[in-house]
Amino acid sequence: MTGAAWTVLAIVLLASYVTWTAGRLDRMHARVDATWAALDAQLVRRAAAARALMPLLPSGPEAQALEVAASAALDAGESGRDLVENVLSRALRAAVPLLPAGSEVEHAQAELETAATRVGLARSFHNNAVNDTRALRRRRLPRALRLAGRRAMPTFFDVDDTALRPAA
């Protein structure tokens, strides 16, 4: 009788642990989705701020490249987004030094710097959530029991977001 009780207790504990781990994994995937949505919003904000610089820039190849890059960043989907955002960062790095002096320009630059800083923070939060989720999914039990279901492994978002942030 005692052996049966220990077996039942072990099964209940194992089932509780598996259920808790599955719920935790689901919450972590939801966190990744939420951080991606926040990152996407900040990337759109940065692209819109870059596009707002267009009337202030002197015409030239840098202005044209910035217009193309900002439009592509606003229209980009999730796949390949990092490449489009890196192109926008390079275009901003080339175009911002060409801006003339003035209060309207300073306001637009401040908005762009704020957006770039927020992109960096959102990217950091997203990559931390991805790292935590991937670490749990790599463990033996979640892999063996396929606790993540059919969800794709979350991916990191690496982009050069330092182009316009003020130096610390």
Residue whose tokens read 């819109």: 48
Domain 11-144 has CATH 1.20.1440: yes
How far is the C-alpha of 4 from the C-alpha of 130, rounded, in Å? 42
Reported as a single tens digit per residue, the pLDDT across 122-135 is: 999 999 999 999 99
For range 161-165, the mean pLDDT: 61
How far is the C-alpha of 126 from the C-alpha of 157, rounded, in Å? 8
For range 136-140, the mean pLDDT: 93
Look at residues 96, 100, 104, 117 and name the one whose alpha carbon lies nearest to residue 46: 117
In the three-class reduction of DSSP (H, G, I as helix; E, B as strand; rest coil), residue 1 is classed as coil
Q: 168 pLDDT exceeds 60? A: no
What are the domain boundaries of the chain?
11-144
Q: Do residues 74 and 48 touch, judged by C-beta distance below 8 A?
A: yes
For range 17-39, the mean pLDDT: 95
Q: 154 pLDDT exceeds 50? A: yes
Q: Do residues 59 and 89 touch, judged by C-beta distance below 8 A?
A: no
Surface-to-core class of residue 114, CB atoms within 10 Å of its CB (0-12 exposed, 13-18 middle, 19+ buried): middle
pTM for the full predicted model: 0.84
